[in-house]
Amino acid sequence: MNTLILRTVAPVLTALMLLFSVFVLLRGHNEPGGGFIGGLIAASALAIYGIAFGVSAVRRAIRFHPMAIAGSGLLLATLSGLVSIFAGVPFMTGLWIYPEILGVEVPLATVMSFDIGVYLVVVGAITSIALALEQEEPERAEAIGEQPPPPVRAKRPRKPRPKPQVEG
Amino acid sequence: MAAPSTDLSAALVLASPQLADWLVVLPVVLMIGFGAVLMMVRKSVRLHGTIAITGLALLVLLDAALLIRISTYGPITMVMGRWLPPFGIAFTADLFGSLMAFVSAVVALAAGVFALRDIDAGGRRYGFFPFLMLLMAGVSGAFLTGDIFNLYVWFEVLLISSFGLLILGSEPEQIDGALKYAVLNLIGTTLFLIAVGYLYAIFGTLNMADIAGKASRLRETAPLVTLTALFILAFAMKAAAFPVNFWLPASYHTPRITVSALFGGLLTKVGIYALIRVTVMLFPVEREELSFVVAVSAALTMVIGALGALAQNDLRRLVGYVVIAGIGNMMAGVAIGTPAAVSGSILYALHSVVTMTALYLVAGEAARLGGAWSLSGLGGLYRRAPWFSAASLALFLAAAGLPPLSGLWPKVALLKASLDIGAWWLAAAILISAFIVTLALARVFLLAFWRPRPEPAPELAIARDWRIAWPLGCLTALSILFGLFPETVLDLSQRAATGLAEPSAYIRSVFPGGAAP
């Protein structure tokens, strides 16, 4: 969409929404919010950016492939569950540390890192879908890094060969 | 921050878990972790094979350790986040679950090695290996969970990964197959979910140990037969039992052959696993009520599957029908329901996971060597690849249930069990089905292997490849070993069946303090 209004507003809107998504993510620990909804907000921010400036602009802006972001989130969430093996408590038990940062006690938990993982999974997965839908057909193959499927796979013939022509 | 002063022992498990207890969650965690890493390096397809095979080998080791641990010390439970069961989600593995998990891991490793050859860079870029990891996370989770809603979640996980695997390549016929597969499986999963909803309304709990303990008290008042019938229908759909089996031959021949092999070996068996777990362990009395229906469905599944196999020309479709015939045998054990019969079903499931995967791999390799999927186009394989043909013949005999291979013992166990309760017609169905499957597979051997090639094709120099020889060889060896030295597996499956019929050890592992609150 090539309108002046959207293109002017989109960067501001995207930045604000991304900021807000982090706020929702952190707020979700004790109040309504959380990784899932925060991730959805961030993904819609990127989608708006994509509508205004095109898909490749978004891909450049987020640097990593959305699926890689989702993968890192999944890994982070899994590892947060595994931390409890060192504390002698069952899988996925919430563990807390209270470091003093700049004189303020900041409670940090594996629950939070799990939630950040969820956030990343949702951002990655939804952005991936949104970008694929926004993309024009020809640039899709090249931008996702997928080769168009090979026309014929020579190794795995699917059809029976034509019957031999029996002479006579 | 002050620690809360409430009594935590009412809500949390305060004893710290033993390190061995972690074995019950680690297979799933491992697979999700490796899947995540593979997603992150999605574009570097060169790394995929190494990472995935490492992951699957670790999975085999973990599942082996779990199996050894459980067969020595009994079922293991770990409840997520320390919550007391039945409120926390429990992972509980008993002998049945860990046996299935172990065999699936072995088969997945074999299929993974085969995929190194079968799946080209394009397929890898589409994400074959990440999907494979997540599929195995779903399969392992389904086998190891002790919570029925969680079982549903793992069904979803493996279903979604299977959609991805099924359309790998995006060919029109794959989309067609995937559509049938997806619609039927989504209906089955929805039925399962509805049944879980009813179950929760009746029991107020989703923990399987808790349900097994409470069923006897609620039997007088609650509509448990209806509930069990719903579960049976849902799982029969998953397992491709007659009359809800038609999605399997319609879809399993479309994807890459490694994918077909994984699906044929693992997915239907997850359905059978869930069926046995729910009917035999949770609702044995209701299973008894419905046993005639299940027996009829089992007999028809066997015979129709076998007849279908006899009628097919395409190798992959043919193997699909052999899978269905096997499902009928396993359902027969569920229908009879005595510990001996259930142990026959478990044996059959273990045998079937290995043999069906291997049969699909044989089909793939035969097509690569012979240049066709159809029996009319194949020929002369025996002359070209004698070792491969010998392995194929062994697997055909195993699938047909002939001695001295792995298919014999489960069939003997099931026959004996059905004759013991006087169900002669079920025994007859098992024998007839085995006979027709023998014919169908003998036909394959005769046409594709013995017969000279129908056309003088240019002799392609096809090199022997370890990525094909090892998986096929190992699976065949497993099948032969099981056929020749069945004592260990027989003993394990009998103990697994006893553990299902009398789940006190399972319940005690979840509620060590005694009965559920």
CA-to-CA separations, A13 to A23, B157, B464, in angstroms, rounded: 15, 35, 60
- Residue A151 has a pLDDT of 47
Contact partners, residue B42, CB within 8 Å, separation at least 6: A65, A67, A68, A71, A145, B125, B127, B130
Is residue B295 a part of any domain in this protein?
Answer: yes
CB proximity under 8 Å: B 368-397 to A: 368, 371-374, 376-377
Q: Taking the CA of residue B97 as centre, how many other CA atoms within 13 Å lie in the half-sphere pointing to its CB? A: 31
- Residue among B16, B80, B373 whose CB faces A91 most closely: B80
Lowest mean pLDDT among A70-84, B194-208, B335-349, B447-461: B447-461
**How close does chain A come to B146, measured CA to CA in Å?**
15
Q: Residue B76 pairs with which residues in a beta bridge?
A: B93
A150 contact residues in B (CB cutoff 8 A): 122
Please give the residue of chain B at the shortest CA–CA distance from A69: B40
Three-class secondary structure of residue B481 per DSSP: helix
Alpha helices, DSSP H, located in B88-242: 95-118, 121-125, 128-144, 148-166, 172-203, 208-218, 224-239
With an 8 Å Cβ cutoff, is B170 touching chain A? Answer: yes
Contact between A90 and B80 using a beta-carbon 8 Å cutoff:
yes
Count of CB atoms within 10 A of residue B218's CB?
14
Taking the C-alpha atoms of residue A56 and residue A62, their distance in angstroms, rounded to an integer, is 10
CA angle B300/B335/B243 to nearest 5° reads 30
Residue with tokens 């004189």: A103
**Is the predicted pLDDT of residue A157 greater than 90, yes or no?**
no
pLDDT band at residue B461 using 50, 70 and 90 as cut-offs: low
Three-class secondary structure of residue B304 per DSSP: helix
Query: What end-to-end distance do the CA atoms of chain A give, in Å?
Result: 68
**Is the predicted pLDDT of residue A106 greater than 50, yes or no?**
yes
**Is the predicted pLDDT of residue A167 greater than 50, yes or no?**
no
Average pLDDT over residues B75-101: 90
- Residue B401 has a pLDDT of 87
CA-to-CA separations, B264 to B111, B146, B151, B326, B418, in angstroms, rounded: 12, 25, 20, 11, 26
**Is the predicted pLDDT of residue A153 greater than 50, yes or no?**
no
pLDDT band at residue B100 using 50, 70 and 90 as cut-offs: very high
B360 contact residues in A (CB cutoff 8 A): none
Q: Residue A100 pairs with which residues in a beta bridge?
A: A105
Map B298-341 to HEC letters.
Answer: HHHHHHHHHHHHHHCCEHHHHHHHHHHHHHHHHHHHHHHCCHHH
Task: Specify whether the CB–CB gap between A27 and A39 falls below 8 A.
Answer: no
Task: Specify whether the CB–CB gap between B237 and B185 falls below 8 A.
Answer: yes
Q: What six digits make up the tokens of B416?
A: 């004996």
- Residue B459 has a pLDDT of 58
Average pLDDT over residues B333-338: 92
Taking the C-alpha atoms of residue B397 and residue B363, their distance in angstroms, rounded to an integer, is 15
> In this structure, is the dihedral angle defined by the CA atoms of residues B80, B82, B83 and B84, taken in order, positive or negative?
positive
**How close does chain B come to A136, measured CA to CA in Å?**
18
B32 contact residues in A (CB cutoff 8 A): 74, 78
Dmax over Cα atoms in chain A, in whole Å? 98
H or E segment and range at residue A97:
strand A96-97
- Residue A1 has a pLDDT of 62
* CA B469, chain centre distance (Å): 23
- Residue among B42, B169, B373 whose CB faces A67 most closely: B42
Taking the C-alpha atoms of residue B110 and residue B107, their distance in angstroms, rounded to an integer, is 5
Taking the C-alpha atoms of residue B81 and residue B305, their distance in angstroms, rounded to an integer, is 45
Q: What six digits make up the tokens of B504?
A: 């006190």
Taking each helix axis from N to C end, the angle separating B315-336 and B408-420, rounded to the nearest 10 degrees, works out to 40
With an 8 Å Cβ cutoff, is B414 touching chain A? Answer: no
Name the more confident of B324 and B83. B324
**How close does chain B come to A109, measured CA to CA in Å?**
13
Contact partners, residue B267, CB within 8 Å, separation at least 6: B139, B158, B162, B238
Q: What six digits make up the tokens of B139?
A: 């399969």
Residue with tokens 């074959």: B128
**Is the predicted pLDDT of residue B195 greater than 80, yes or no?**
yes
Average pLDDT over residues B364-383: 85
**What does residue B127 show for φ and ψ, rounded to 5 degrees?**
100, 40
**Is the predicted pLDDT of residue A69 greater than 80, yes or no?**
yes
pLDDT band at residue B119 using 50, 70 and 90 as cut-offs: confident
**How close does chain B come to A6, measured CA to CA in Å?**
33
* CA B334, chain centre distance (Å): 15
- Residue among A68, A82, A163 whose CB faces B39 most closely: A68
* CA B341, chain centre distance (Å): 18
- Residue B463 has a pLDDT of 67
Q: Which of A24, A48, A114, A77 is nearest to B29 (CA)?
A: A77
Task: Specify whether the CB–CB gap between B478 and B354 falls below 8 A.
Answer: yes
Q: Residue B314 pairs with which residues in a beta bridge?
A: B374
Q: Which amino acid is at B201?
A: A
Taking the C-alpha atoms of residue B469 and residue B110, their distance in angstroms, rounded to an integer, is 10
- Domain hosting B200: range is 18-455+464-508
Taking the C-alpha atoms of residue B437 and residue A15, their distance in angstroms, rounded to an integer, is 64
Contact between A160 and B372 using a beta-carbon 8 Å cutoff:
yes
**Is the predicted pLDDT of residue A166 greater than 70, yes or no?**
no
The rounded percent of chain B whose pLDDT value lies above 90 is 62
Average pLDDT over residues A66-93: 90
Please give the residue of chain A at the shortest CA–CA distance from B42: A68
Query: What end-to-end distance do the CA atoms of chain B give, in Å?
Result: 33
- Residue B3 has a pLDDT of 53
Q: Residue B192 pairs with which residues in a beta bridge?
A: none
- Residue B514 has a pLDDT of 63
Taking the C-alpha atoms of residue B135 and residue B129, their distance in angstroms, rounded to an integer, is 10
- Residue B462 has a pLDDT of 65
Q: What is the pLDDT of residues B218-271, one digit of tens each?
A: 888 888 999 999 999 999 999 999 888 888 888 888 888 999 999 999 999 999
Q: Residue A73 pairs with which residues in a beta bridge?
A: none
Is residue B2 a part of any domain in this protein?
Answer: no
- Residue B307 has a pLDDT of 94
- Omega before B404 within 30 of 0, i.e. cis: yes
pLDDT band at residue B70 using 50, 70 and 90 as cut-offs: very high
Is residue B3 a part of any domain in this protein?
Answer: no
With an 8 Å Cβ cutoff, is B257 touching chain A? Answer: yes
Taking the C-alpha atoms of residue B443 and residue B111, their distance in angstroms, rounded to an integer, is 26
Please, what's the b/e burial string for B64-94 (b: 16 or more CB within 10 A of its CB; e: otherwise)? Answer: bbbbebbbeeebbbbbbbbbbbbbbbbbbbb
Taking the C-alpha atoms of residue B500 and residue B338, their distance in angstroms, rounded to an integer, is 10
Contact between B377 and A156 using a beta-carbon 8 Å cutoff:
no
Taking the C-alpha atoms of residue B479 and residue B476, their distance in angstroms, rounded to an integer, is 5
Q: What is the pLDDT of residues B430-441, one digit of tens each?
A: 999 999 999 999
Q: What six digits make up the tokens of B410?
A: 């489960």
Q: Taking the CA of residue B280 as centre, how many other CA atoms within 13 Å lie in the half-sphere pointing to its CB? A: 31
Q: What is the pLDDT of residues B397-434, one digit of tens each?
A: 999 988 888 889 999 999 999 999 988 999 999 999 99
**How close does chain A come to B184, measured CA to CA in Å?**
25
Count of CB atoms within 10 A of residue A77's CB?
25
Query: Number of structural domains, chain B?
Result: 1
Contact between B43 and A153 using a beta-carbon 8 Å cutoff:
no
Residue with tokens 């595994």: A82
Q: Which of B366, B291, B298 is nearest to B306 (CA)?
A: B298
Q: Which amino acid is at B402?
A: L
CA-to-CA separations, B28 to A80, A95, B47, B135, in angstroms, rounded: 14, 21, 22, 10
Taking the C-alpha atoms of residue A92 and residue A108, their distance in angstroms, rounded to an integer, is 15
pLDDT band at residue B153 using 50, 70 and 90 as cut-offs: very high
- Residue B28 has a pLDDT of 94
Name the more confident of A31 and B153. B153
Contact between A158 and B373 using a beta-carbon 8 Å cutoff:
yes
- For chain A, the residue count is 168
Average pLDDT over residues B348-361: 94
B33 contact residues in A (CB cutoff 8 A): 75, 78-79
Q: Which of B252, B444, B206, B256 is nearest to B368 (CA)?
A: B256
CA-to-CA separations, B439 to A55, B76, B354, in angstroms, rounded: 57, 44, 21
User: Mutating which of B40, B175, B468 best tests the A interface, going by the most A Cβ atoms within 10 A?
Assistant: B40
Task: Specify whether the CB–CB gap between B512 and B14 falls below 8 A.
Answer: no
Q: Which amino acid is at B17?
A: P
